Structure 1
Amino acid sequence: MTYQESFLRFMVDCGVLTFGEFTLKSGRKAPYFINAGNYHTGAQLLELGRYYAACMEAHHVPVETVFGPAYKGIPLAAAAAMAMADQYHKDVNFCYDRKEVKDHGEGGMFVGKKLTDGEKVVIIEDVMTSGKAMAEVYPKLKGAANVDITGMIITVDRMERALEGTQSAVQAVYEKYGVPVYAIVTMEDIIQGIRDGIIPGKEHLDAMLAYREQYGVSK
């Protein structure tokens, strides 16, 4: 079983990936939903970090520091950094930002590794919906140092058009910032996982295909 197939099972087992009829923030009616809030145990976080690390390794993403955008990205990046050390014997740095600049003590916007020019930074995020996270953290990172943002790792690429335009959020981020976004799995992987019996949901397959046809984009 590939790490992508294993991750699909992991999401279903954790109650993160569910099927049915859901109204998304965009107003679209989707046949599946991803609720990352259902990752809530130490064992789940440990396993999740391993999948982030596997994705980085599979795509050969150069990394010296993993960065977790506050707040959800903080534990994800920490888990990914620990997994890189444990699974691949690569002791990468870790840092995250604050929502507000600290004006006492050590001060500053960032906690953890102090960023330097040319440092290879990978951003660790959950699911990209609109690209808002990149719009917020890109100027922060570049303002701290002239870092080389070599990629962003997300759990799922929904592969669907944004509300405006014909691109997905992943495609728009690459076009605007030049930062490649790597997903552990994509919507196509989810559909194939259902077809292959890796995960349950065959009764929702037609709805998944129709949704993909209506809102989907190519890679």
Structure 2
Amino acid sequence: MKNWKNKFIEFILNKRILIFGDFILKSNRKSPYFFNMSLFSTGEDLKKIGKFYAQTLVNLNIEFDVLFGIAYKGIPILISTILALKNDFNINKPYSFNRKEIKTYGEKGETVGHKIQGKIVLIDDIITAGTAIKNAINIINKNKDSKISNILVAIDRKESGTTKLSAKKEIEKKYLCQISSIIDINDIILYLKNKNIMKKQLKILIQHQEKNFL
């Protein structure tokens, strides 16, 4: 596993982003664990997470014209990524994000920022069943002069979609795009095994993964 992936796992563990209990996810599924990304709540947190997203874009050599963030959690991640690309890699790119509700006054519209055109990289925090991602794709696809080149998330839970395929593969197949992640759940499992830590929590992750998902 690459060192920057290990650093990201250490980051989320130190911030206690990964928590355990009984949770109902946005996909309406039950889960014994949850990634509480809202705990990235300081300037330093956003600076770090933006660097991780930017580093992933650069490492994977992902080409794009516009970064697009999904409201609401995807917006601060989007802005921090745009700033990290400029400040750390001298890559200056425009951004756009969607509104939860379409604005009916002023300039109106359902997006904020740069015009959605060219190759689009969609930014979000977690992929589970891909519900929020699918909604954002529908917004982008309304623009005939744009195409999604990649979807970048922090963590892929590697869960099943609505078919026998994983949510990731299901979206890639339907929308003809690629989904990338900084890490996935198997990276976390491997990290905990190698460090020989959080043995109780590790068991929960493994059992949930083996029983329910791909």
What TM-score, normalized to structure 2? 0.90
CA distance in 1, matches of 2:31, 2:141: 37
Tell me the equivalent position of 1:213: 210
- The structure-2 alpha-carbon separation of the partners of 1:205 and 1:121, relative to structure 1 and needing over 3 Å to count, comes to same
How far has the Cα of 1:82 moved from its partner? 0.7
Unaligned runs of 5+ in 2: none
CA distance in 1, matches of 2:31, 2:64: 38
- The structure-2 alpha-carbon separation of the partners of 1:210 and 1:82, relative to structure 1 and needing over 3 Å to count, comes to same
CA distance in 1, matches of 2:191, 2:29: 26
How far has the Cα of 1:103 moved from its partner? 3.1
Question: Contact conserved, 1:115 with 1:145, CA < 8 A, in 2?
Answer: no
Q: % of aligned pairs identical?
A: 25
The two structures, once aligned, show a CA RMSD in angstroms of: 1.8
Tell me the equivalent position of 1:79: 80
Range with bigger deviation, 98-107 or 6-15: 98-107
How far has the Cα of 1:27 moved from its partner? 4.6
CA distance in 2, matches of 1:71, 1:206: 32
Task: Give the counterpart of 2:30 among 23, 28, 31.
Answer: 28
Question: Contact conserved, 1:62 with 1:150, CA < 8 A, in 2?
Answer: yes
Alignment of 1:30-69 (within 5 A): 30=32, 32-69=33-70
Q: Tell me the alpha carbon deviations over residues 59-96 of structure 1, each in whole angstroms, 9 at most, x when there is no partner.
A: 11112211112222111111111111112110011111
One-letter code aligned to 1:214 = K
CA distance in 1, matches of 2:82, 2:141: 21
How far has the Cα of 1:37 moved from its partner? 1.5
One-letter code aligned to 2:206 = L
CA distance in 2, matches of 1:68, 1:27: 24
Alignment of 1:1-219 (within 5 A): 2-18=3-19, 20-25=20-25, 26-30=28-32, 32-116=33-117, 119-162=118-161, 164-197=162-195, 200-217=197-214
CA distance in 2, matches of 1:154, 1:54: 13
Unaligned runs of 5+ in 1: none
CA distance in 2, matches of 1:194, 1:61: 29
One-letter code aligned to 2:52 = Y
CA distance in 2, matches of 1:74, 1:206: 33
CA distance in 1, matches of 2:31, 2:69: 30
Q: Tell me the alpha carbon deviations over residues 152-192 of structure 1, each in whole angstroms, 9 at most, x when there is no partner.
A: 11111111223x43222111111111121111111110011
CA distance in 1, matches of 2:206, 2:34: 15
CA distance in 2, matches of 1:137, 1:29: 24
State the SS of the aligned residue for 1:55.
helix
Question: Contact conserved, 2:128 with 2:159, CA < 8 A, in 1?
Answer: no
